[in-house]
Structure 1
Amino acid sequence: MIDAIIIIIVVVLLALALKGSLKHFKGESPCCGGSHESYDIEEKKLQSPIIGKKTLEIEGMHCQNCVHHVMKAINSIEGASAKVDLDTHLAVVSYDRELNEQELYYVVEEAGYHIQSIMDK
């Protein structure tokens, strides 16, 4: 009898965990401390003419709050402005001065995400 109760408790806990995980990966949960509301993220304006663009493939983004964190991290770099797309997991970074790729890796990692690849656009 006790074994059956333990099994039922374990099944219920697993079902709740699965439900929460599915909501998280669909972007319907408050992952990363955010909410399901939409974000109006203002694009950073560069002060000088754009001299190049890089496309970053980013791993670990699940919701608009994640996009906001990545965009804020990249935009903290002097001379860089990012547009981040959750559906493609890509960030297009425009820059108006030489851009250190190691600094890109560093700020994205510090925000809790990972750059899989960087391509010159």
Structure 2
Amino acid sequence: MDKVNIIIIVILAAIVFFGLKSYIKKLKKGGDCCPEHEEAIKSVKIKDRDKSHYPYEVKLAIDGMSCGNCVRNVENALNSLDGTWASVSLEDNMATVLLKNPPDIEKLSKAVDDAGYMVLKRKSSY
């Protein structure tokens, strides 16, 4: 087999892998994102709303969100972590996370992943 065929096979395998991973996550969440009969999800409250207490900022591109409940799921997952204040935009598929301590990107990504979504890209600024 030549190198071109191997590269094509690897790319196709990656596409299938990520597609299946996303599909399995949706099945675990109950298939359809937010059935009509499902009530809106309540937000986790942030106790400290003084932005000056959060010197670090991370932006996360999120895959898999399709409605307001998805946004709240991601926000709640991130806001449940100690010292974080997250806001999520469905329009941009982006989470902006303010942090009191230096960011632990793996911990943030795991929280999003555990909520059933995928972090595609990260950007830190401090």
**TM norm structure 1:** 0.64
Which residue of structure 2 lines up, in the alignment, with residue 46 of structure 1? Answer: 48
- CA root-mean-square deviation: 2.6
Map 1:1-121 to 2 at 5 A: 31-32=33-34, 41=43, 44-46=46-48, 49-121=53-125
Q: SS of the residue aligned with 1:62? A: coil
Q: SS of the residue aligned with 1:31? A: coil
Measured after TM superposition, the shift of residue 98 of structure 1 is: 2.0
Q: Structure 1's 69 and 38: CA in aligned 2 closer, same or farther, altered over 3 A?
A: closer
Q: What amino acid is the match of 2:56?
A: G
**Higher CA-based Rg:** 1
Q: Greater shift after overlay, 68-77 or 32-41?
A: 32-41
Q: What amino acid is the match of 1:96?
A: K
Q: Structure 1's 34 and 57: CA in aligned 2 closer, same or farther, altered over 3 A?
A: farther
**TM norm structure 2:** 0.62
Query: What's the CA shift string for 1:4-59, capped at 9, x where partnerless?
Result: xxxxxxxxxxxxxxxxxxxxxxxxxx724576877774662437711111111000
Q: Which runs of 5+ in 1 are unaligned?
A: 1-29
The answer to whether the 8 Å contact 2:44/2:79 transfers is: no
**How far apart, CA to CA, are the structure 1 residues paired with 2:116 and 2:88?**
15
Taking every aligned residue pair, what percent have the same amino acid on both sides?
A: 30
Q: What amino acid is the match of 2:33?
A: C
Q: What amino acid is the match of 1:88?
A: D
Q: Which runs of 5+ in 2 are unaligned?
A: 1-31
